[in-house]
Amino acid sequence: MEFLKKYIKRYRLKIIMMVVLTILVAIFTLLTPIIFSFIVDDVLADIDSGASLSYIANQNKSLIFGAFLVITVNLLLALFYYLRGKNNAQLGEHVVCDIRNDLYHHIQLLPYDYFVNSDSGELIQKCTNDVDMIGRIFSNQLSEMVYCIMIAGLAMAYLFYLNLKLALLAFITIPIIFVFAIVFFSKMQKRFLASDNADGRLVSKLQEAINGVRVVKAFNNERYEIAQFDKYNQEYRDITFDMIKLLGLYYSVSDFLVYSQIVLVVIFGIFAVLSKDITIGDLLVFITYETNILYPIRQLGRIIADIGKVSVSAKRLKGIMDVLVEDQESGIDHEIKDEIIFEDVSFDYGNGIEVLHDINFKIKQGSTIAIMGTTGSGKSSLVHLLTRLYDCTSGRILIDGIDIKKINRLNLRKQIGIVLQEPYLYSKTIFDNIKTDDITENDVYESCKLACVHDVILSFKEGYQTLVGEKGVTLSGGQKQRLAIARTLARKFKIVIFDDSLSAVDTKTDKDIQNKLKKLHDLTKIIICQRVNSAADADMIIMLDKGTICEMGTHDELIKADGLYAKVYALQNKMIGGEADVRLSREGI
């Protein structure tokens, strides 16, 4: 429970208030049967019990006085119930809110490779189900545990005061019920977990089907997806139904024990009344207290078992919080002004297998660099090093002569933007997907013009106020890529990396965008691409093969070298219909 210590400390006053109000609820719950006892014995039966309340009752031989006492006590009880419920709700929601904020803040600062190696569905489940479990403990179960202990302790003390023998009989099954509850719910933990896991698989399947609806329809795969969902749904139903049947068995057995206990008290209590050992009012207290004690004791077993589940949830959340966050602030602030140098750079993902080896090249400010290569040649890994999502394992990257590792990540990423091949768009308007606090309305329009998407947006009925849907589902692949380019350009980065982000754009539009980007003389462009047409006009083309630079130069130089680039050029040239078509495409015709 180390994870919860700071939240307990932060809200200790509300926790103390919860305990105080719960004790008051327990006391006033037990007062009503005592008042009824005095009404029955002192007012109706005219028996002087000798207690202080008995004296008051004898001075007021009226049911009205008894009714006044009952109403007063229950009004106070209702007030304490309300105050406890309000306090507990605030406590639970404040704790849950703080845990969620702390988790989200921490997750945002975790290093990139944590997400690469983690399951997003499991991470989301931890941040929802586990947090909710902790919230229930603070909002309800801690209070119920205090209530169970207090009401059982106070009731037992008073019943032993009234009659020792009958009190011993009244508590004969309590240890059995308590132990039965703890053992049962401890054994049920695996079934609760299995039900939660089945629910998680069902939700994941539903999410996957909704996100992949285009693929499902494209392959006419609806029946298969329906069958798969039905499979997961039935699995969840069967596991949960088995769990419910066992819970039904538990409550049936525990109810039998509770009612058996009450029947024993009633039977032996009647004989005790006949033998003048206790009064009718005392018997009423015994019977009422039995109900007040036995059901909370039965619930206490489940609460203790749930606290065990909370310890598991807290441990899982602590596992996230224990992951070291990415250091974004250590190092110097530096404004990029001149060249970038890759000097003997090698990199592996911690498994000893190098994905980049001995990389050397320079990038001048304002130039355009194209990076091409075979699949898995290390193109994306190369630009990940530039933004310090990873650091190179050997060699160094210099910016204006400064080792990139000496520049803090936050400052670096404010100057380097990335446009991904599959951009993520939010379920907002086109305008809101681009606009942020530090971007003017004019910046939005100008960036869209640079990305050749302004006229497309204006052709929509709602223009820039068009809702794009979740992940930009209402837009085509090319429109999404151009919108992502506009979003990046609006932020006026010093360097922009296009990670195959023109792959869904037609050749003419690709050429138009690049021609407009050329006019941004202070912007350094790094283009990762597969098409020769996207790379041909770059100031320098870098060809990667198996993590090494196999060729480097301009388009004309690489064609003359007759290496890998020339082969790719010849292949693509043949595919699109001849060298003339390539030439015309390069010229934007």
Query: Does residue 195 lie in a domain region?
Result: yes
- Do residues 35 and 70 touch, judged by C-beta distance below 8 A? yes
In tens, the pLDDT along 173-198 reads 888 887 887 788 777 777 877 887 78
- Nearest Cα neighbor of 171 from 8, 277, 327, 294 is 294
Tell me which of 298 and 497 has the higher pLDDT: 497
| H or E stretch at 128 | none
Extract the tokens encoding 104. Answer: 């989200």
Residue recorded with tokens 């790379």: 535
Residue 419 CB-half CA count within 13 A: 30
Segment 332-361 shows an average pLDDT of: 89
**Positive/negative CA dihedral, 27, 32, 36, 42:** positive
Whether residue 420 contacts residue 484, with contact meaning beta carbons closer than 8 Å, is answered with yes
Angle at 277 between CA 274 and CA 280, to 5 degrees: 60
What's this model's pTM, rounded to 2 decimal places? 0.74
Cα distance between residue 321 and residue 127, in whole Å = 11
pLDDT (tens digit per residue) in 552-566: 999 999 999 988 889
CATH of the domain at 46: 1.20.1560.10
Whether the per-residue pLDDT at 54 is higher than 60: the answer is: no
Instruction: Give Cα separations from 234 to 125, 221, 240 (angstroms).
Output: 21, 20, 10
CA distance 586 to 370: 15
Residues 6 or more apart in contact with residue 401 via CB below 8 angstroms = none
Residue 506 belongs to some domain of the structure: no
Structural domain count of the chain: 3
Of the candidates 452, 468, 492, which is a domain's last residue? 492
Helix and strand numbers, DSSP H then E, in the chain: 24, 10
Query: Mean pLDDT, to the nearest integer, of 104-133?
Result: 84
Domain contains 501: no
578 band by pLDDT with thresholds 50, 70 and 90: very low
Residues 315 and 459 grouped into a single domain: no
DSSP type of residue 521: T
Same domain for 398 and 313:
no
- pLDDT bracket for residue 326 (50, 70, 90): confident
Give per-residue pLDDT as tens, 437-481.
788 889 999 999 998 999 989 998 889 998 887 767 778 888 888
Q: 326 in a domain, yes or no?
A: no
Together in a domain, 451 and 357: no
Cβ proximity of 346 and 354 under 8 Å: yes
**Same domain for 300 and 151:** yes
Range of the domain at 549: 336-415+524-589
Domain identity same for 158 and 64: yes
Tell whether the model's pLDDT for residue 46 goes beyond 80: no
Residues 53 and 37: their CA atoms lie apart, in Å, by 11
CATH code, domain carrying 476? 3.40.50.300
Domain assignment present for 519: no
Please state, rounded to an integer, the average pLDDT across all residues of the chain: 84
Asked, for residue 371, whether it belongs to a domain, the answer is yes
Asked whether residue 87 is domain-assigned, the answer is yes
Q: Are residues 480 and 556 in the same domain?
A: no
Domain shared by 439 and 583, yes or no: no
Residue for token pair 């018997």:
283
Q: Are residues 79 and 203 in the same domain?
A: yes
Q: Residue 506 above 60 pLDDT? A: yes
Residues 264 and 410 both lie in one domain = no
**Do 190 and 283 lie in a common domain?**
yes
DSSP state of 519: T
Q: Are 361 and 552 in contact (CB under 8 A)?
A: yes
Last residue of a domain, one of 321, 354, 377: 321
Q: Which of 321, 356, 372 is the last residue of a domain?
A: 321
Least confident of 47-61, 150-164, 474-488, 551-565: 47-61
Token representation of residue 78: 């209702």
Do 121 and 260 fall within a single domain?
yes
Same domain, 314 and 422: no
Gap between the terminal Cα atoms of the chain: 68
